[in-house]
Amino acid sequence: MESITWRMQATNLKETITLLGELKYGVVEVTASALYGIAEEVMTRSKDIVPVDTGALKSTGHVELPKIVGPIVEVTLGYGGVAANGEKVGYAYYVHENPDAHHDEPTQWKYLETPLNQKMGKIDHLLAQAIAELVALR
C-alpha cells in the first residue's frame, strides 16, 4: 500500500535528555509511547480538515505502532490505500498537494502537513512533557 508519510525528528531535547538520563530502563519504550501519542494528536487534527467527498480518503488516515530498532524509534502516520475513486493511492497525494482544488471550510489541501508542522514547533516540549507523564505512571 502506497501512502503519504512524514518522518519527525526531534533535536535539541534538553528537557527530554535530562529526564531520560534519570531513568534506568525503559527509555526507548517510553519515548515510543510518547511519539505515538503525539502522532495520534496530529492525525486527529488532520481528520478535522481532510477533504471529504465520499469519506473514503478520511477513512484511510492511520498511525502505525512505533517501530523500535535499537535506540531509534519510528512512528509513521499517513493516508493511503484504495481511495474514493477505487484507485491505489496517488489520490491521497494528489488531494494533499493540489493547491488549486476547491475545498469547503474547514477542509483544505496540506491536510496532514499543516497539523504536523503545528506540532513540530513544539515537539521538544511536547515530547518531554509526554515522557514525564508516562514516567510518572510507572
70/64 Cα distance (integer angstroms): 18
96/93 Cα distance (integer angstroms): 5
Query: Which pLDDT does position 50 carry in this prediction?
Result: 93
Query: Which pLDDT does position 13 carry in this prediction?
Result: 58
For each successive 10 residues of the chain (138 residues), what is the average pLDDT?
47 59 66 89 95 85 91 87 51 81 86 90 79 70
Cell of 86: 477505487
- Secondary structure (DSSP) of 85-133: TSSBSSHHHHHHH-TTS---TT--SSTTHHHHHHHHTTHHHHHHHHHHH
109/17 Cα distance (integer angstroms): 36
Query: Which pLDDT does position 41 carry in this prediction?
Result: 94
Query: Which pLDDT does position 23 carry in this prediction?
Result: 59
